[in-house]
Amino acid sequence: MRILFILFFLKFSYEADFVKIIPQKNFEIIVARGNIDLNDGKTFIRGDSALIFRSYDIDSGLIYGNVNIKGEEIEINCGRAKYNFLKEEAEFFDKVSVNTEDKIVISDYIKYFVKTSSSIAKGEIFIEDKKEGLKVYCKEANYNFKNKRGNLKNIERLEILSEDKKITLYGNKMEITPETLYLNNEVKIESEKEKGEGDTLIYIQKEEIGYLKGNPIFYFEKGSAKGDEIEIKFKDKKIESGKIKGNSQIEILTEKEEKVIINTSIIESFFDEEGKIKILKGFEKINGILFLNKIKNE
């Protein structure tokens, strides 16, 4: 026969199959087992068992087994949790998953701050932005679910998906804003046939534009380009155009396997559906063209 205990404190109601209260000096320890249900009308905490520490109100708690926490705009699942009700902070352990309307976060460990909607994650981390089609794999992350800003470290890769197309980004550190990704330290950007490298990458998600800075170089089918800065424009995750700015150089291998090298200040290139250059423009003092293995100065 199921025995049900319900306790009411100032803000929280508490329900479990079995409850034992152990008095201590200035506080009580509540031992609970079976179908734990703790809530204040806004946040609902469930699990298999719990240790609750109470002085005047519930101060903190340890929840174990099949932990599920639901808030107004967030749901968290994990193996065990440590909750500080006074500070409105929580730590989650063992296969932690966080779900919001547009985000999924999976990690070994997450600390969540209720008042600011911010979090710290460590371990093997996976982050997915459902609306932007962005997937992130990293080892350390700080993220605010309210203002959609954060910082990532020890990044394995980022994937931006659209149907069967994908752009992959690499970099050791990254700053996230609602519209833009900022990657630093040995960054790379790759699509189906193209690849770019540099010290810094700025990627604007809605416009599908990437800016490579710091010794950037861009490789495309039968060619490469380098300059002070390289702007890469994608459409539906496929390269559409590129612009090389400052000390620009582009090398192209023609269909006859002849190399063309252009040096100038600014170069614009436009690509076809196969990723091949269909239009090439050079601006501001083209100082040399190597064509058919002969140099022509202008």
Average of pLDDT values for 107-135?
A: 89
Confidence check: pLDDT of 219 > 80: yes
What's the whole-model pTM score? Answer: 0.78
- Is residue 94 very low, low, confident or very high in pLDDT (cuts 50, 70, 90)? very high
Q: What is the pLDDT of residue 133?
A: 82
Q: Rounded distance, CA 77 to CA 298, Å?
A: 67
Q: Rounded distance, CA 36 to CA 47, Å?
A: 5
pLDDT single digits (tens) 236-260:
777 788 888 888 888 887 777 777 7
Confidence check: pLDDT of 211 > 50: yes
Q: What is the pLDDT of residue 185?
A: 86
Average of pLDDT values for 123-138?
A: 89
Which of 140 and 248 is assigned the larger pLDDT?
140
Q: Rounded distance, CA 255 to CA 265, Å?
A: 26
Q: What is the pLDDT of residue 259?
A: 78
Q: Rounded distance, CA 223 to CA 211, Å?
A: 19
The mean pLDDT value of the chain amounts to: 82
Q: Domain-by-domain residue ranges, the chain? A: 1-92
Task: Spell 166-176 as b/e; 16+ CB within 10 A means b.
Answer: ebebbbebbeb
Confidence check: pLDDT of 294 > 50: no
Q: What is the pLDDT of residue 80?
A: 94
CA distances from residue 239 to 189, 191, 220, 235 in whole angstroms, order as listed: 11, 8, 9, 6
Q: What is the pLDDT of residue 286?
A: 53
Confidence check: pLDDT of 296 > 70: no
Angle at 149 between CA 133 and CA 154, to 5 degrees: 75
Of 184, 177, 192, the residue nearest 155 (C-alpha) = 184
pLDDT single digits (tens) 158-208:
998 877 778 898 988 999 898 899 999 889 888 877 888 999 999 998 888
Average of pLDDT values for 70-96?
A: 89
Q: What is the pLDDT of residue 174?
A: 92
Q: What is the pLDDT of residue 235?
A: 81
Q: What is the pLDDT of residue 234?
A: 83
Q: What is the pLDDT of residue 47?
A: 93
Half-sphere exposure in the Cβ direction for 253 (13 Å, CA): 7
Average of pLDDT values for 215-244?
A: 85
Number of H helices, E strands in the chain: 0, 25
Q: What is the pLDDT of residue 260?
A: 79
